[in-house]
Amino acid sequence: MTAVDGLLHPRAVAVVGASERSAMAGRLTRYLRDFDGPVYPVNPNYQQVHGLRCFPSLRELPGPADLVLVLVPAARVLSVVEEAGRAGASCAVVLSSGFAEVGAEGRALQEQLVEVAGRYGLRIVGPNCQGLLYRPTGLAATFTAAADGAQQPDSGIAYVGQSGALGGSFLGKAGDRGIGLTAWISVGNQADLTATEAAELLVADPNVRVLACYLEELPDGARWQRLTERAAAAGKHVVVLRSGRSAAGERAVASHTGALVRAGTAFDLLTRESGAVQVDDLDELLDVAVALTADPRPGGRRIGVITSSGGAGGLAADQAEAVGLVLPELDAAAQDVLAPLIPAFGSAVNPVDVTAQVIDDAGQFGAVCDAVAESDQVDAVLVVLTTIGGAAALEVAEAILRSAKRSTKPFAVAWLYSHEQIAEAGSMLRRNGISVLSTTNAALRLIAHLVPRGDRRAEPAPPRGLARFLDRPALTESEGAQLLDALQVARPRGRVVVDPAEAAAAAQELGELVVLKVQSPDLAHKSDVGGVLVGVPAERADSAARDMLDTVAANAPHARIDGVLVQELLPPGVELLVGVQGSKHGYPPVVTVGMGGTTAELYRDVASALGPLDADQAVALLRQLRGWPLLDGFRGKPRCDVAAAAAAIASLSHAAVELGDRLAELEINPLVVRESGAVAADLVVISDSRR
């Protein structure tokens, strides 16, 4: 038995700090009565605790305890853990608080805790956690009051999370619905055992079919990817709720991309790519976990909506698009079947409005459900009900259930009425694997989450020897020109001059009007300090260069100036931002595209994906932008060369994969896309200084 195996399958459990006077300690010992092995309360002040013989110390137990539960003041925890290690325990669950969550002194104590446990090969869960439950062995090693109540049927759903309070809420909500969790682990401060490790343990368990996770800290990317891949290979599902998704987090300030891409984007994209489901609140975490234990799942994003309320059906139709679902018009064959079942003042199109008249006839309503589910235009069925309660609600629910059992497509119900009035009907549907939600929006989101995703990255391109370009913290644009050439990304013609007096001569070679840009590795946003001039007449380039350098010196006196880039003025086109954040913390690089130029942060019209991308995937990313019509011939203008833009995006994404964690950021802003061609008008390259 490994140390972690002892967490779920201990031969015996010891409770240090057992007591009948403390509510928490009392619950902990009382819950353990169902454990299928010996339970040893430990407290020198008691002879017995809840009918169990109590021992003065771990040294005096009649046999070994693989799992030790620690519920003593923080100052005593280290001595208890050392005693547990000497006694041969494999795991200790430290329920006590007073560690890293309280500040520097607590962090130091937590580090000592890990060091002491490590000397004995003892794994630590917590500290500052609420313990665990594991139904197959009857283990209820927790003090949360949410574990009270009758045993519910085993659902195959497991939970792991960092917050004990939210974990208790999840456990309580599941109990209210009659759902018995197979396993439940609260990891607290993750001093040793992380949420990802606990999740790996549960995914490997044959009793678990769906894993629900609550995360507060981003896990290591490579480990998270392995976890989700193992779950998918085993035919299991992972649902995750992550807090802190709106925080600025580790914001890079060197480029527009850093300000536009929030922390955790790589995690979100990797989670979606793996087929795991990411949700936004605790109810949704439970709803989706329960729905994933049932079959079938939708084969696509087309839904048929059946309702007795035209208004409710209209709401569903309005809300479907926002979550990526579509309501196709039912074909003629389906409408022919529905026509005799629905009054003339109803609708057989989609949403299907059966009116209150049909709802009163369960058989007729069931026939409508059958007809919609049988349509080839539908991948899932949503039934939206309003003021139907009591005995009538139960009849309607039974009709829905009969139809769902006959169908190969999933059903969900949005029931917009008093919980008390629909309690029996809703419970009956849920027991039979049909989700019942209280709003149309929640029901639509649930269906959208159940649609399998097929996101996959492209295969990496052969190495091109790009590491030589990152031998310094940052490149000036002129230095980055060689990198663009290696990537086969077009750039404007230009020449760097050290003496402003040479600018006019350089400009004469490039056209009547030119662009002047100060070259400094310290200035990513050159225009912010007056370091960019556009449309300068060639004959005035020398004086304009001097004025620009004076302005930059005044605004950024400490910046190192390497010269002035004199560049040809590009014809106008659609300006895009193309940025890549390099690999870090085990995550692939994140590729971001958006409407570019100096207003990129103002409009924040961006879309992101994991690299590498091929050209088709790059086009799909561009299509996600609100500004896509500008590329596609808006109001009769010529279509832009999207293929050239996609090739540049794909090339940058492959470069980021090759450069790996050497690269912090690479950004083209703007990439000017015209009717023919796409040209990188400005470039920022920053290497990762942590290497």
Which residue's entry shows tokens 């050290």?
Answer: 498
CB atoms under 10 Å from CB of 52, counted, come to 18
Q: Using an 8 Å Cβ cutoff, are 195 and 307 in contact? A: no
Q: What is the pLDDT of residue 259?
A: 53
Helix, strand and coil in the chain, % to nearest 5: 40, 20, 35
Cis before residue 612, ω within 30 degrees of 0? yes
Q: Which amino acid is at 290?
A: V
pLDDT at 326: 95
Give the pair of three-digit tokens for residue 162: 């960092």
Q: Which residues of the chain register pLDDT less than 70?
A: 1-3, 149-150, 245-263, 454, 597-602, 689-691
User: Using one digit for the tens of pLDDT, what is the confidence trace for 38-51?
Assistant: 999 999 999 999 88
Q: How far is CA 615 from the centre of its chain?
A: 25
What pLDDT does 479 receive?
A: 82
Spatial contact of 8 and 139, defined as CB atoms under 8 Å apart: yes
Q: Model-level pTM greater than 0.85?
A: yes
What's the pLDDT at 605? 86
* CA 321 – CA 325 distance, rounded (Å): 5
Tell me the two tokens of residue 39.
């339970």
CB 516 within 8 A of CB 532: yes
Which tokens sit at 587?
């995550």
Query: In this predicted structure, what is the pLDDT of residue 584?
Result: 87
Report angle CA 298, 303, 308 to the nearest 5 degrees: 130
Q: What does the pLDDT read at residue 346?
A: 83
The reported pLDDT for the residue numbered 249 is 38
- Strand 513-519 with 474-475, pairing: unpaired
DSSP 421-434: HHHHHHHHHHHTT-
